[in-house]
Structure 1
Amino acid sequence: MGKSYNVLIIGAGNIGAFFDMPYSKNVLTHAHAFSKVEGFNLLGFVDVDNKKAIEAANIWNAKAFESIEEAFTNNTIDIVSICVPDEYHYKILDEISIFSVKVVFTEKPLTKNLIEAKKIIQLYNENNIKCMINYSRRFVSQFEQIKNEIEEGKYGELLCGSGYYGKGILHNGSHLIDLLRYIYGEIKSTQTLSYNYDYYKDDASVSAILTFNNNSNFVIQNIPASNYTIFEIDLLFEKKRIRITDSGFKIEIQEVLDSNVFKGYKNIVKTSERKTELGEALENAVLNIYNHLKYGEKLKCNIHDAYEVIKICENLQSGRRL
């Protein structure tokens, strides 16, 4: 692929280093993705717990640094991956803005609130740093295909929809909101129905009605994380129905067909099921970063996409209407 870009991973936790190993089939960590895609050199890790950074470095054949400053001393770092808990995103994004970095790849959400997000957008614009956010389903070709088919009118207008998630509207529900914005379009209004603090004390899981620009409604339901993990979306269009299940590993397609029993009636019938490459989403995201740097390809989830999601989540948390 040509030039190698040096990568620093900040946060040696599960998503940064430990969800998989170099020999694992699925690419589930930033370390695995940057190690697998040609064109990158995984330089090392920084973590507040230096023992974790050392452990990650040993697994992924990289270095362990005691601080961000140490990592940037005598090293050219092109890419920074941020894999720290949500509440530290703003601090780390702010801290690395003083360095000459080409792209920052951060876990979602961008920040914990809009005030922080606005500050980061201003900083990164001033310092000409590109930022991509890991809303992982944007990096799955099957969702891009559905997006394109919707835009081409193959499904007709959206009639209504519903979805299920848990573990905080910002931490996990934002995945659902971002995917809806990505494959269908802007959400013009929201109405909060109920909420519970099922995992995070400062991030309620919200049930709500989302309304799109065509006035169709989508009901988002929170399922407390103590019961089980769920991520599902059901979209009913004029011509087809799309069911996204198994956290996004499967997409079920149903089509409108004439009833075999009742003359003149139509039924919605399952006609196909697609397995997605969600297990390769991180690898695809890293490839997007390389193609952006090498060929000018557009980053598939930019800082402004992440800002719009935070705005919706904040309105849902506060119970306000957009």
Structure 2
Amino acid sequence: MSSKSFNVLLIGCGNMAAGFDLSHETEMPRTHASGYAKHGGFNLAACVEPDVDRRIETAKKWNIPLQFENTNQINEYKDAFDVISICSPTDLHLEHIKIAISLKPKVIFCEKPLTASLHESKKMIDLCNSNNISLAVNYSRYWDPSVNELAELIKQNYWGEIRSVVAHYNKGILNNGGHMIGLLQQLLGELKIISARNVYNDLCEDDPTVLALLNSIEGIPIYLNPTHASDYSYFEFEIFFSRGVIRMLNGGLSWQTQTPICHDQFTGYRKLSAPKVIDGKYFLSMSLAINNIYEHLANSQTLVCTGESALIIQKMCESIKITAAHTNV
């Protein structure tokens, strides 16, 4: 049990707020509610959710004493919450961030993307800063130990030179594509757009799933390959190094490596070894994000993924989207 306790308000009780841990009881939390509850340093004080069954189920599961149907009912609770988690649909984020700021929390923890508009995201970041409110955004791979370990190996040149990267995603360039762009930026740094075009809208009309060719600053080619969300969820990438291949599989739940070996059929040639698959550490991400917020509050630890981090991701997503739209004209 942590020595200090901070009060939390959940705005929205959907999948990322609570739902994934209502349907599957797991040791490692996948949602905001379970993350706060398992940490021990937070008190789930209130939740807001218009769906009555979902609201009651969430409150019952985590013993949340205050439950509200809409955000109009929480206006009188200024200074009552240290942390406000915003887990509502993206098109409500702007409204809910403004309401959260008016309640004067110490931290807002918002699901990605921050808002649907780059301009509005920038305004919300500025508003948080002017009100001395810390802003964290849940691009979850920023807290994924497997991703951070790979980033360190890349810095150490452990796998040699990067020859190319192929990344697969669906559900829109801003929605799930933002996760991939953020992940690629973590590993490779700043990205540049070579070309892009719209392929289809498999989530919503204003967020196309885009085919794109990118480059890192060092000139590493990166292929952003779309798949269709109506077929299945798909979020994977493969990096081709001079000393082998690394693949993130199933959204980071597992990782695969192959290294060059002498070919057993063709003298003088090399081939890749049989794949070695290990479990990923993605399910640690929510616990680490919540602990990062706790340490930020208790000991001034730097937040790993801030509003500014999210803005960099959103700028690249918007640039890809604009480039694709011009190509399709």
* TM-score for the superposition, normalised by structure 1: 0.93
State which drifts further: 72-81 or 172-181. Answer: 72-81
Q: Is the Cα contact below 8 Å between 1:167 and 1:198 reproduced in 2?
A: yes
Q: Which amino acid aligns with 2:145?
A: S
What secondary structure, in the 3-state scheme, does the structure 1 residue paired with 2:115 have? coil
Cα deviation for residue 142 of structure 1 reads: 1.3
Q: Structure 2 matches for 1:114-193, cutoff 5 A? A: 114-193=118-197
Q: Give the RMSD, CA atoms, in angstroms.
A: 2.0
SS of the residue corresponding to residue 259 of structure 2 reads: strand
Aligned twin of 2:311: 307
Identity of matched residues, %: 33
Distance 1:270 1:121, change over 3 A: farther
Q: Does 1:208 align with 2:209?
A: no
Instruction: Report how many aligned residue pairs link the two structures.
Output: 321
Secondary structure at the residue paired with 1:235?
strand
Partner of 2:12: 11
Q: Are 1:79 and 2:83 counterparts?
A: yes
1:198 correspondence with 2:199: no
**SS of equivalent to 1:209:** strand
SS at match of 1:199: strand
Q: Which amino acid aligns with 1:30?
A: H
Partner of 2:49: 47
Deviation for aligned residue 1:37 = 0.5
1:71 CA drift (Å): 3.8
Do 2:198 and 2:208's aligned partners in 1 also have CA atoms closer than 8 Å? no
Structural mapping, 1:88-107, within 5 Å: 88-107=92-111
Indicate yes or no: 2:317 matched with 1:316: no
1:269 to 273, 281, 284: 273
What is the SS of the residue equivalent to 2:318? helix
Partners of 2:16 and 2:31 within 8 A in 1: yes
> Against the structure 1 CA distance between its residues 32 and 72, is the aligned structure 2 distance closer, same or farther, given a 3 Å change threshold?
farther
Aligned partner of 2:257 in structure 1 is 253
1:26 is displaced (CA, Å) by 4.2
Q: Is the 8 A contact 2:145 2:284 kept in 1?
A: no
Whether 2:65 is the aligned partner of 1:65: answer: no
Report if aligned partners of 1:193, 1:209 keep a CA contact under 8 Å in 2.
Answer: no
Find out whether 1:36 has 2:55 as its counterpart: no
Output one character per residue of 1:145-171: Cα deviation in whole Å (capped at 9) or x when no partner.
101111111122221111111111111
Shift of 1:116: 0.7
Residues 7 and 43, structure 1, Cα contact 8 Å, conserved in 2? yes
2-structure distance, mates of 1:280, 1:27:
8
SS at match of 2:21: coil
Please state if 1:20 is matched with 2:21: yes
- Shift of residue 131, structure 1, vs aligned partner: 1.1
CA distance in 2 between partners of 1:271 and 1:24 (Å): 28
Q: Partners in 1 of 2:287 and 2:162 — Cα distance?
A: 31
In the TM superposition, residue 224 of structure 1 has moved relative to its aligned partner by 1.3
Partners of 1:64 and 1:307 in 2: CA distance:
32
Contact 1:134 1:301 in 2 (8 A): yes
CA contact (8 A) 1:190 1:315 kept: no
Amino acid at match of 1:4: S
